[in-house]
Amino acid sequence: MDWSLRELRHFVTAADLGSFTDAARELHVSQAAVSRTIASLERAVGDRVLRRIPRGCEPTPTGAQILPHARRVLAEADRFSDFLRSRHSTLRLGYAWAGLGRHTAALQRTWARDHTDIELELVKRNTPTAGLAEGTCDVAILRRAVDDPRLQSVVVGLERRVVAFASDDPLWARRRSLSMAELAERTVLIDSRTGSTTGEMWADLPTRPTFVESGDVDQWLDSIAAGKAVGTTAEATAHHHVRPGVTYRPVKDGPRIPVRLVWWREDRPRGLAELVDVVTRLYAGSS
């Protein structure tokens, strides 16, 4: 079956307006062109989709059946067209858990003030590349090393490691900081796909924590608030995800976490250099 978006658009417009003449006016073509285009669609469908009536036209039973499907196809095509138009005027910044933490709002304000020709859009995707591999962002914020040769990255800052635990934890509730050795005595929630916590962090200690997998940040926070386990994460999470019942404290000997901006090596998005510069300055100003 061979049909085109043009044919669907002519059909939907004529069906909506109830007139070939009005459809031609709306589409800026001749009435004959509307008739020919809809006739072509009917040949592809194998049945009539519109019938003429004294006051114009109306869908046939077949036309009424395919009309909602045609609308959905056209709506999706319009969204695709909008995406293509906005590709060079929107810079989509993906993240999995916490964006840039306390720097997120500052980045958005600074960018909106200094880059009126490119809109910065933050996109949350809980995938290993924060949406980059899925095509939902142009640049990703990652806190894990990148080993895909197709990707290029730069470290824009370092973040302290913090531990999250239930605010009524009987052992830690009054503590102002904790150590890696103390975490090793607890059950630790991790997200092995996107998180920054791995067992290698305790390689130099005699014991390691018991690890439990967590699917996403909301599940992670819910489990911690319920006292089921604790978690260790970048300080950005503490700023981005304030949760009643969850307390964050620094891990005094925890390794710093590199914050990377990552993009496709052969597809550098417009505004990338400016983004790297702004984010680097934000982190440098807080160090």
CA distance 87 to 138: 9
Q: What is the mean pLDDT of residues 87-106?
A: 90
- When pLDDT is cut at 50, 70 and 90, the band that residue 87 belongs to is low
More confident call, 175 vs 193 = 175
Residue 48's alpha-carbon distances to 1, 60, 132, 211, in angstroms, are 15, 7, 45, 63
Using a 10 angstrom Cβ sphere, with 0-12 exposed, 13-18 middle and 19 or more buried, the burial of residue 23 is buried
Give the model's pLDDT for residue 1.
65
Secondary element (H or E) of residue 141: strand 139-142
Is the model's pLDDT at 287 over the cut of 70? no
Give residue 129's Cα distance to chain centre: 10
d(CA 71, CA 51): 19
Domain 5-86 is found in CATH 3.20.20.70: no
Higher pLDDT: 83 or 220? It is 220
Q: Give residue-wise pLDDT tens across range 62-74.
A: 999 999 999 999 9
pLDDT at 86: 66
Task: Name the average pLDDT for the chain.
Answer: 93
Structure confidence at residue 94 (pLDDT): 96
Confirm if 59 and 11 have CB atoms less than 8 A apart.
no
Reading the block at residue 68, the tokens are 């909602």
Structure tokens at 20: 């070939």
CATH classification code of 90-158+258-286: 3.40.190.10
Residue 85 has pLDDT above 80, yes or no: no
pLDDT at 82 over 90: no
pLDDT of 3 higher than 80: yes
Tally helices (H) and strands (E) across the chain.
9, 12
Average pLDDT estimate for 175-180: 96
Q: What is the H or E stretch that residue 64 is in?
A: helix 61-86
What is this structure's pTM? Answer: 0.71
Tokens representing 203 are: 């390689």
What is the arrangement of strands in the sheet containing 257-264, beginning at the earlier edge strand?
A: 119-124, 90-95, 139-142, 257-264, 151-159
In the chain, list all ranges with CATH 1.10.10.10: 5-86
| pLDDT at res. 28 | 94
* Third-level CATH fold of 161-255: D-Maltodextrin-Binding Protein; domain 2 (3.40.190)
Compute how many other C-beta atoms are within 10 angstroms of the C-beta atom of residue 89.
Answer: 11
- Interval 150-167 mean pLDDT: 96
> Considering only CA atoms, which of 24, 20, 63 is closest in space to residue 42?
63
Residues of the chain with CATH 3.40.190.10: 90-158+258-286, 161-255
Mean pLDDT of 17-27: 95
Contact indicator for 278, 110 with CB cutoff of 8 Å: yes
- Backbone φ and ψ for 51, nearest 5 degrees, come out as -125, 145
Condensed to tens digits (0 to 9), the pLDDT of residues 206-247 reads 999 999 998 789 999 999 999 999 999 999 999 999 999 999
pLDDT at 152 over 80: yes
Give the percent of the chain with pLDDT over 90.
83
